[in-house]
Amino acid sequence: MHVIELRFECFDNTTITAAEQAINGLLEAYRANGQVLGREFAVAFNEGEFRVRLLTPEKSSLAKRHNSPWVNVALQDLTAAKILAPREKYIGQDINSEVSSTDTPSWQVLYTSYVHMCSPVRNGDTLQPIPLYQLPATFNGDHKRIIKWQTEWQACDELQMAAATKAEFAALEELTSEKSDLFRRGWDLRGRIEYLTGIPTYYYLYRVGGESLATEQQRACPRCGSKDWLQPQPLLDLFHFRCDNCRIVSNISWDHL
Protein backbone atom coordinates (compact mmCIF):
# COMPACT_ATOMS: atom_id res chain seq x y z
CA MET A 1 0.00 0.00 0.00
CA HIS A 2 1.02 3.60 -0.51
CA VAL A 3 0.85 6.95 1.27
CA ILE A 4 -0.60 9.88 -0.69
CA GLU A 5 -1.03 13.50 0.44
CA LEU A 6 -3.90 15.57 -0.94
CA ARG A 7 -3.86 19.36 -0.77
CA PHE A 8 -7.02 21.43 -1.15
CA GLU A 9 -6.82 25.16 -1.95
CA CYS A 10 -9.66 27.67 -1.83
CA PHE A 11 -10.24 29.81 -4.94
CA ASP A 12 -12.74 32.16 -3.26
CA ASN A 13 -14.07 33.01 0.17
CA THR A 14 -15.57 30.00 1.91
CA THR A 15 -16.18 28.71 5.44
CA ILE A 16 -14.54 25.95 7.47
CA THR A 17 -17.92 24.22 7.68
CA ALA A 18 -18.44 24.19 3.92
CA ALA A 19 -14.87 23.03 3.30
CA GLU A 20 -15.13 20.33 5.96
CA GLN A 21 -18.33 18.89 4.48
CA ALA A 22 -16.99 18.89 0.91
CA ILE A 23 -13.59 17.39 1.75
CA ASN A 24 -14.96 14.75 4.12
CA GLY A 25 -17.61 13.89 1.53
CA LEU A 26 -14.90 13.21 -1.03
CA LEU A 27 -12.87 11.11 1.39
CA GLU A 28 -15.92 9.03 2.32
CA ALA A 29 -16.69 8.48 -1.38
CA TYR A 30 -13.11 7.37 -1.98
CA ARG A 31 -13.37 4.99 0.98
CA ALA A 32 -16.67 3.49 -0.22
CA ASN A 33 -15.02 2.70 -3.54
CA GLY A 34 -11.92 1.17 -1.97
CA GLN A 35 -9.63 3.92 -3.28
CA VAL A 36 -8.50 4.92 0.22
CA LEU A 37 -8.20 2.65 3.24
CA GLY A 38 -8.99 3.14 6.90
CA ARG A 39 -11.84 4.82 8.76
CA GLU A 40 -10.50 8.10 10.10
CA PHE A 41 -8.75 10.88 8.20
CA ALA A 42 -6.98 13.79 9.86
CA VAL A 43 -7.59 16.89 7.73
CA ALA A 44 -5.27 19.77 8.69
CA PHE A 45 -5.72 23.46 7.83
CA ASN A 46 -2.57 25.55 7.58
CA GLU A 47 -1.42 28.55 5.53
CA GLY A 48 -4.66 28.79 3.59
CA GLU A 49 -4.94 25.17 2.47
CA PHE A 50 -6.24 21.84 3.72
CA ARG A 51 -4.04 18.74 3.76
CA VAL A 52 -4.71 15.07 4.42
CA ARG A 53 -2.51 11.97 4.16
CA LEU A 54 -4.16 8.81 2.94
CA LEU A 55 -3.32 5.13 2.65
CA THR A 56 -4.15 3.74 -0.80
CA PRO A 57 -3.96 0.21 -2.26
CA GLU A 58 -1.86 1.33 -5.23
CA LYS A 59 0.17 4.33 -6.29
CA SER A 60 -2.49 5.13 -8.90
CA SER A 61 -5.57 4.48 -6.71
CA LEU A 62 -6.86 8.07 -7.00
CA ALA A 63 -6.66 8.18 -10.79
CA LYS A 64 -9.88 9.36 -12.44
CA ARG A 65 -10.36 6.05 -14.25
CA HIS A 66 -11.05 4.39 -10.89
CA ASN A 67 -13.65 6.92 -9.71
CA SER A 68 -17.17 5.84 -8.86
CA PRO A 69 -20.16 8.06 -9.71
CA TRP A 70 -20.23 9.13 -6.04
CA VAL A 71 -16.58 10.22 -6.20
CA ASN A 72 -17.25 12.29 -9.31
CA VAL A 73 -20.19 14.03 -7.64
CA ALA A 74 -18.07 14.67 -4.53
CA LEU A 75 -15.38 16.29 -6.71
CA GLN A 76 -18.03 18.61 -8.15
CA ASP A 77 -19.16 19.48 -4.62
CA LEU A 78 -15.67 20.83 -3.95
CA THR A 79 -16.30 23.54 -6.54
CA ALA A 80 -19.56 24.51 -4.84
CA ALA A 81 -17.58 24.90 -1.61
CA LYS A 82 -15.09 27.20 -3.42
CA ILE A 83 -12.31 24.58 -3.30
CA LEU A 84 -10.07 23.57 -6.19
CA ALA A 85 -9.64 19.93 -7.20
CA PRO A 86 -7.05 18.36 -4.88
CA ARG A 87 -3.37 18.35 -5.76
CA GLU A 88 -1.82 14.95 -5.20
CA LYS A 89 1.65 14.34 -3.76
CA TYR A 90 3.09 10.84 -3.58
CA ILE A 91 4.84 10.24 -0.25
CA GLY A 92 5.97 6.64 -0.66
CA GLN A 93 5.20 2.98 -0.07
CA ASP A 94 3.95 1.99 3.37
CA ILE A 95 6.47 -0.49 4.79
CA ASN A 96 4.00 -1.91 7.33
CA SER A 97 1.30 -3.07 4.91
CA GLU A 98 0.70 -5.63 2.20
CA VAL A 99 1.30 -5.26 -1.52
CA SER A 100 -1.89 -5.30 -3.60
CA SER A 101 -2.52 -8.02 -6.16
CA THR A 102 -2.16 -7.03 -9.82
CA ASP A 103 -2.70 -10.50 -11.35
CA THR A 104 -5.99 -12.15 -12.26
CA PRO A 105 -6.48 -14.94 -9.70
CA SER A 106 -7.75 -18.44 -10.37
CA TRP A 107 -9.96 -17.99 -7.27
CA GLN A 108 -10.75 -15.34 -4.68
CA VAL A 109 -11.66 -15.30 -1.00
CA LEU A 110 -13.54 -12.84 1.21
CA TYR A 111 -11.18 -12.67 4.18
CA THR A 112 -10.30 -10.03 6.77
CA SER A 113 -9.35 -9.57 10.43
CA TYR A 114 -9.36 -6.71 12.90
CA VAL A 115 -5.70 -5.92 12.17
CA HIS A 116 -6.16 -5.58 8.39
CA MET A 117 -6.94 -2.26 6.71
CA CYS A 118 -6.66 -3.58 3.16
CA SER A 119 -9.35 -4.88 0.82
CA PRO A 120 -11.19 -7.95 2.17
CA VAL A 121 -11.25 -9.50 -1.30
CA ARG A 122 -8.07 -11.56 -1.58
CA ASN A 123 -6.27 -13.30 -4.43
CA GLY A 124 -6.76 -17.01 -3.73
CA ASP A 125 -3.37 -17.87 -5.24
CA THR A 126 -1.31 -15.43 -3.14
CA LEU A 127 -3.66 -14.01 -0.45
CA GLN A 128 -2.74 -10.52 -1.63
CA PRO A 129 -5.57 -7.97 -1.33
CA ILE A 130 -7.37 -7.02 -4.54
CA PRO A 131 -8.27 -3.29 -4.70
CA LEU A 132 -12.06 -3.06 -4.68
CA TYR A 133 -12.15 -0.47 -7.47
CA GLN A 134 -10.55 -3.09 -9.73
CA LEU A 135 -13.76 -5.13 -9.39
CA PRO A 136 -17.10 -4.29 -11.02
CA ALA A 137 -19.23 -2.18 -8.69
CA THR A 138 -21.23 -4.50 -6.45
CA PHE A 139 -24.17 -2.20 -5.64
CA ASN A 140 -25.14 1.39 -6.53
CA GLY A 141 -21.91 2.16 -8.33
CA ASP A 142 -19.36 1.36 -5.61
CA HIS A 143 -18.41 -1.11 -2.87
CA LYS A 144 -19.92 0.44 0.24
CA ARG A 145 -21.69 -2.79 1.24
CA ILE A 146 -18.41 -4.72 1.22
CA ILE A 147 -16.74 -2.03 3.35
CA LYS A 148 -19.66 -2.13 5.81
CA TRP A 149 -19.48 -5.92 6.07
CA GLN A 150 -15.72 -5.72 6.65
CA THR A 151 -16.18 -3.13 9.41
CA GLU A 152 -18.72 -5.37 11.16
CA TRP A 153 -16.53 -8.48 10.83
CA GLN A 154 -13.54 -6.64 12.26
CA ALA A 155 -15.60 -5.30 15.16
CA CYS A 156 -16.68 -8.85 16.07
CA ASP A 157 -13.12 -10.10 15.68
CA GLU A 158 -11.76 -7.44 18.02
CA LEU A 159 -14.38 -8.28 20.65
CA GLN A 160 -13.57 -11.98 20.59
CA MET A 161 -9.83 -11.39 20.62
CA ALA A 162 -10.12 -9.11 23.64
CA ALA A 163 -12.13 -11.80 25.48
CA ALA A 164 -12.99 -9.33 28.22
CA THR A 165 -16.80 -9.21 28.18
CA LYS A 166 -19.81 -11.43 27.57
CA ALA A 167 -20.07 -9.79 24.14
CA GLU A 168 -17.22 -12.11 23.12
CA PHE A 169 -19.64 -15.02 22.78
CA ALA A 170 -22.12 -13.14 20.60
CA ALA A 171 -19.24 -11.95 18.42
CA LEU A 172 -17.90 -15.49 18.07
CA GLU A 173 -21.33 -16.70 16.98
CA GLU A 174 -21.33 -14.13 14.18
CA LEU A 175 -17.84 -15.14 13.03
CA THR A 176 -18.17 -18.92 13.26
CA SER A 177 -21.79 -19.79 12.49
CA GLU A 178 -23.15 -20.30 8.99
CA LYS A 179 -26.53 -19.21 10.41
CA SER A 180 -25.39 -15.77 11.57
CA ASP A 181 -26.40 -12.47 9.98
CA LEU A 182 -22.74 -11.65 9.34
CA PHE A 183 -22.24 -14.91 7.44
CA ARG A 184 -25.43 -14.46 5.44
CA ARG A 185 -24.53 -10.96 4.28
CA GLY A 186 -20.93 -11.86 3.57
CA TRP A 187 -21.80 -15.05 1.72
CA ASP A 188 -24.32 -13.14 -0.43
CA LEU A 189 -21.65 -10.50 -1.21
CA ARG A 190 -19.29 -13.31 -2.12
CA GLY A 191 -21.84 -14.61 -4.60
CA ARG A 192 -22.32 -11.15 -6.07
CA ILE A 193 -18.58 -10.74 -6.56
CA GLU A 194 -18.32 -14.16 -8.21
CA TYR A 195 -21.21 -13.34 -10.54
CA LEU A 196 -19.70 -10.01 -11.60
CA THR A 197 -16.11 -11.21 -12.02
CA GLY A 198 -16.66 -14.77 -13.25
CA ILE A 199 -13.99 -15.92 -10.77
CA PRO A 200 -14.78 -18.56 -8.10
CA THR A 201 -15.09 -16.59 -4.85
CA TYR A 202 -15.11 -18.13 -1.37
CA TYR A 203 -16.12 -16.99 2.10
CA TYR A 204 -13.78 -17.51 5.06
CA LEU A 205 -15.62 -19.03 8.04
CA TYR A 206 -13.60 -18.51 11.22
CA ARG A 207 -13.16 -21.52 13.50
CA VAL A 208 -12.13 -21.71 17.15
CA GLY A 209 -12.96 -24.18 19.93
CA GLY A 210 -13.69 -27.84 19.20
CA GLU A 211 -12.75 -30.97 21.16
CA SER A 212 -9.47 -32.14 19.60
CA LEU A 213 -7.37 -32.11 16.46
CA ALA A 214 -8.81 -35.48 15.43
CA THR A 215 -12.41 -34.32 15.67
CA GLU A 216 -11.54 -31.10 13.89
CA GLN A 217 -10.11 -33.04 10.96
CA GLN A 218 -13.39 -34.95 10.71
CA ARG A 219 -15.47 -31.78 10.75
CA ALA A 220 -17.98 -31.53 7.89
CA CYS A 221 -18.89 -28.50 5.77
CA PRO A 222 -21.52 -26.69 7.84
CA ARG A 223 -23.75 -25.96 4.83
CA CYS A 224 -23.83 -29.22 2.87
CA GLY A 225 -22.40 -31.75 5.35
CA SER A 226 -19.62 -32.92 3.04
CA LYS A 227 -16.49 -34.33 4.69
CA ASP A 228 -14.46 -34.15 1.50
CA TRP A 229 -13.43 -30.55 2.07
CA LEU A 230 -10.31 -31.23 4.20
CA GLN A 231 -7.23 -30.27 2.15
CA PRO A 232 -4.06 -32.43 1.98
CA GLN A 233 -2.08 -29.29 2.80
CA PRO A 234 -3.43 -25.99 4.12
CA LEU A 235 -4.15 -23.55 1.31
CA LEU A 236 -1.92 -20.50 1.72
CA ASP A 237 -0.86 -21.97 5.10
CA LEU A 238 -4.21 -20.79 6.43
CA PHE A 239 -7.24 -22.65 5.05
CA HIS A 240 -7.43 -26.32 6.01
CA PHE A 241 -10.88 -26.79 4.49
CA ARG A 242 -12.43 -25.76 1.18
CA CYS A 243 -15.88 -26.71 -0.06
CA ASP A 244 -16.14 -26.01 -3.77
CA ASN A 245 -19.87 -26.64 -3.73
CA CYS A 246 -20.69 -24.12 -0.97
CA ARG A 247 -17.78 -21.76 -1.69
CA ILE A 248 -16.54 -21.82 1.91
CA VAL A 249 -13.01 -22.05 3.29
CA SER A 250 -12.21 -22.55 6.95
CA ASN A 251 -9.44 -23.48 9.35
CA ILE A 252 -8.85 -26.23 11.88
CA SER A 253 -9.57 -24.65 15.24
CA TRP A 254 -6.64 -22.53 16.34
CA ASP A 255 -6.99 -24.16 19.76
CA HIS A 256 -5.61 -27.43 18.37
CA LEU A 257 -2.80 -26.29 16.08
Residues 149 and 65 in one domain: no
Whether 161 is in a domain gets the answer yes
Residues 87 and 152 in one domain: no
Sort 209 into a burial class: Cβ within 10 Å, 0-12 / 13-18 / 19+. exposed
Whether 100 is in a domain gets the answer no
Report the pLDDT value the prediction gives residue 257, as an integer from 0 to 100. 67
Q: Which of 49, 70, 93 is the last residue of a domain?
A: 93
Residues 75 and 157 in one domain: no
Report the pLDDT value the prediction gives residue 39, as an integer from 0 to 100. 86
Is residue 170 within a helix (H) or strand (E), and if so which, with residue range?
Answer: helix 167-176
**Cα 16 off chain centre by:** 31
Report the pLDDT value the prediction gives residue 96, as an integer from 0 to 100. 86
Radius of gyration, alpha carbons of the chain: 21
- Mean pLDDT (the chain) is 93
Q: pLDDT of 98-127, one tens digit each? A: 899 989 999 999 999 988 989 999 999 999
Residues 40 and 79 in one domain: yes
- Contact (Cβ atoms closer than 8 angstroms) between residue 142 and residue 30: no
For residue 165, the enclosing domain spans 108-256
CATH number at residue 39: 3.30.70.100
